[in-house]
Amino acid sequence: MQESIISSVILPAAIAIIMITLGMTLTIADFRRIATQPKPVFIGLFCQMILLPLLGFAVAGIFGLTAVYAISLILLAVSPDGATSNLIIHAGDGDRALGITLTAITNMLAWLTIPFGLSIAYSLYGTGALDIDFPVLDTMIQVAVITLIPTLLGMGIRSWKPEFAENSKRWSKIFATAFLFLVIIALIIQNWDVIVRDGPRFAPAFIVLNVASLIVGYYVSKFAGIERVQALTIAIETGLQNSTVSITVAISLLNNNDMAVIPGLYAIWMYVTGFALAYWMSRRSPKDGIEQIIA
């Protein structure tokens, strides 16, 4: 994808605004859920932070992606989930509290998980095709600037001005989502030739990653004894990644436009599977599970 003021300035600003908005919806109680409901939280984090990155490495290897695009797919897999997953959970009558908790934790830890996952990817794929050292510390700092710090700022606003945070929650979420949507549309228009050229080439890889992560998130949760609604919530949190964070890291932090291609294409695709799943969830019978979709 081409580097421009949209990708280098406006996109990071959009991410920061969304993180502030997310922070304004969070309280300490959301993190206390780790103690009060540890099992679904830890299973969700295990699926997102351990199994999903492993799937990313596996899919990159299975499809034989070249170094840049393998790292691009892995970058997507190690990115946190975002506002879209919570929107899907809300639309599909999932466990909203669990979804918010998982989103909060994965975004708060993104400054650690993204550099760690990328450092492994660079060590595997960096020789030859990408003969550079991965800047772990710089990436940790820069990811913290666009994710952790804005989230903490939003939580600070809620703690300092709870009435303002509550009253502005609806319009701020609408504004942040609309702003991000417009930025994504602008990036799509700007990079339409790349989408047309590379879409068919990389679609199988990121579609397999998306579908496999949804299935893994659901069945691992069910195997662990998690009830169905929470298992579906964990599946969504595992299967829908924050592609805008991936794009921002690729273009603004790593200065590699090619690494933004797969997250950019995925940003379009995830709305297809996400809202299809939300529609099915909203119309499901009490005994339905994700196995009915697979069947």
Print pLDDT tens along the chain (295 aa). 555 566 566 767 777 777 788 778 777 776 777 778 889 999 999 999 999 999 999 999 999 998 889 999 999 999 988 767 776 776 677 787 788 788 888 888 888 888 889 889 988 886 544 545 556 677 667 667 777 788 888 889 888 888 888 887 677 767 766 776 776 677 677 777 877 887 788 899 999 999 999 999 999 999 999 998 899 899 999 988 888 788 888 887 787 878 888 988 887 788 778 777 777 776 664 455 555 554 4
Angstrom distance (rounded) from CA 103 to CA 44: 10
On whether the CB atoms of residues 251 and 264 are closer than 8 A, the answer is no
Q: What pLDDT is stored for residue 90 in this prediction?
A: 66
Q: What pLDDT is stored for residue 39 in this prediction?
A: 93
Structural domain harbouring 135: 5-294
What single-letter DSSP state applies at residue 290?
A: T
CB < 8 Å & 24+ apart, contacts of 192-198: 194/1, 194/2, 194/261, 194/264, 195/264, 195/265, 195/268, 198/261, 198/265
Q: What pLDDT is stored for residue 285 in this prediction?
A: 47
Whole-prediction pTM: 0.77
Largest Cα span, the chain = 55
| Size of the chain, expressed as the number of residues it contains | 295
In this structure, what CATH number is given to the domain that contains residue 145? 1.20.1530.20
Angle at 66 between CA 61 and CA 67, to 5 degrees: 95
Q: What pLDDT is stored for residue 4 in this prediction?
A: 59
Total of domains in the chain: 1
Q: What pLDDT is stored for residue 253 in this prediction?
A: 76
Residue 240 DSSP SS3: coil
Angstrom distance (rounded) from CA 149 to CA 128: 35
Residues 6+ apart with CB under 8 A from 179: 14, 17
Q: What pLDDT is stored for residue 197 in this prediction?
A: 80
Angstrom distance (rounded) from CA 6 to CA 11: 6
Q: Which of 266, 221, 206, 262 is nearest to 82 (CA)?
A: 266
Tokens at residue 127, please?
């020789």
